[in-house]
Chains A and B, each alone.
Chain A
């Protein structure tokens, strides 16, 4: 409609005046409206602001022809300060912003027309005059400018410049750069394994490098290991999460899982179980402290010794590396087990005719649970280590997790239970627990475990009991969770 009205423009109605610049007193450019579309571009306004008078030559001839007719179109241009709309969170989403607060400056009856003029390409605006909203669906990130033009009865056109920031979709910003496979302590960026243990009993494991590492071509710091001994019907499950701040933690986690697995497998032979079976059986019904002490004593020799062996092996590796470094580079450089800092969770599960005996050693974050949905129950198998702030935890390699008192060590680090059955025993690093459970309270809530299991089961065909289960678990680990891009590792006995 503006272009039609522009042609009726009267030369007499033009007078040139500039009033003000800020929000309260809008910049007024009268008769700057000489362009034949009835609109004034930003540059015209700026010219006027600079005091550059617009030449009457710019008036189209048609305007002179219709000079005698009364002016119907807005002739006074009032330019307001730039207003920023709330940011559009990411590209590809429907965006809507309310303009009611701008329009509330006018009485509804005095508004003759409102329209949106876009000043930036690659965005399509839809203006809803009834609801006073604008909406769009940005396909690219950046800064977008437009103007809300309001024509009011007193022959004024109010121009409100609007700006919108559109954030990129973070998913499009992440890069997946392979880690160097020929460097020191290199390891594959993902790993997976599957094993059939018995009828209706399998172990599946997967470990996926996090996006934060993939972005920088850094290696995966997590690791896992497991074993099943058919003779004694016992499984050992291990996960470890190397500290992001430690430069060789990828090796630390690898040494930890391998050493722990090796040690527990060596000790946990038939005679070992013969030794404590009676205590476990008795404890199941009586929960007596005598049996408890017996069980703890044997677990000290298996689980705690295994963890301690892992710690020792890591210190040894630091020393060896220091020696190699000196031999290779003729340079003194100090390395300590701090450079190999890692968490560790070791769980063993053994089937008896009276139920399953499950025992865990746990240092650091992540989580391990005995999931029993039939009883609407999950046993969080230990206590995660966490600090005041996010990401703070304890590591196997730290002296403070090794108090000299064996009882304190057992009380704090080892937990055992006897259960009739379970759906799954699941070990996870914090790359999985952080996004899926968020808080420590949720980690012991069966509702949250049900949700995670349901989510897993959408992708993972548990009942297939072959290597495709591991493929699916690894694929599931690629799930998107904003701000959670650590390495993710799971070992599941089910």
Chain B
């Protein structure tokens, strides 16, 4: 079975507490529910969720959609945003989980990475060191989402080939964002793109594309 591995990195630093994280939780439920209704995604997509605040945690290892149960994400009251450590962890997970270069095992499609943050990396040295490491993992697309006004877009430009921003961190906006992520995963599951970069569908009104 040829899988499409999808990694979601979610900022769970203190500023996400309250409505934002509840909106993320609701968004993830909707995301998975809509992937279940897309035959291509249901058969091929696998999802992993990594959260980052002071700690970085794999709260969902790479799991096929059909087996997946969305965990509930919680946030600490305050603390730093260790984005760099999250990138380090996702690189390790990709090395462990994504099947490449073998004549014995069916190779996976190139993985997708989505990272959502409402601030800036606190571990800036590590972040800068990990950006080139992420590039080496040959993601079909790295998509960054700057959520709310305090998110530092400039920092994301080195990392991602697609950047979107959300003006607010409310549930309506997050729900649009996650619907778009779901559409992107579906189009990734369909794309048998080899030489060309993965083209993501146009984002909805409250999700602003940044060039």
Query: Which A residues are within 8 Å of any B CB, using their own CB?
Result: 84, 86-87, 89-90, 141, 165, 167-168, 170, 173-174, 211-212, 215-216, 243-246, 338, 341, 386-393, 395, 398, 434, 438-441, 482-486
Contacts and interface: CB of A to CB of B under 8 A. Distances in A.
A441 B102 CA distance: 9
B44 A244 contact: no
B190 A391 contact: no
B193 interface: yes
Contact of B67 (A87, A243, A246): A87
B38 A391 contact: no
B38 A439 contact: no
Interface of B: 1-3, 36-40, 42-44, 65-69, 100-110, 138, 190-196
Given A167-B66, A390-B107, A390-B108, A482 B195 contact: no
A349 to B, nearest CB: 27
B44 A89 contact: no
Closest 4 A-B residue pairs measured CB to CB?
A: A244-B192, A173-B39, A245-B193, A390-B107
A86 B195 contact: no
Contacts of A215: 39-40, 190
Contacts of B103: 439-441
A220 B192 CA distance: 14
A389 B105 contact: no
A485 B195 CA distance: 20
A165 B39 contact: no
Given A84-B69, A165-B69, A243 B109 contact: no
A168 B37 CA distance: 7
A interface secondary structure, majority: loop
19 contacts: A87-B66, A89-B66, A173-B37, A244-B193, A245-B192, A245-B193, A338-B195, A388-B107, A389-B107, A389-B110, A390-B2, A391-B2, A392-B194, A439-B104, A441-B103, A483-B3, A484-B2, A485-B40, A486-B192
A388 B191 contact: no
B44 A389 contact: no
Contact of B104 (A243, A389, A441): A441
B110 to A, nearest CB: 5
B8 to A, nearest CB: 19
A245 B43 contact: no
Contact of A439 (B43, B69, B102): B102
Contacts of A167: 36, 42, 65-66
Contacts of A484: 2
Contacts of A84: 69
Nearest to B42: A170
A90 B69 contact: no
Nearest to B101: A388
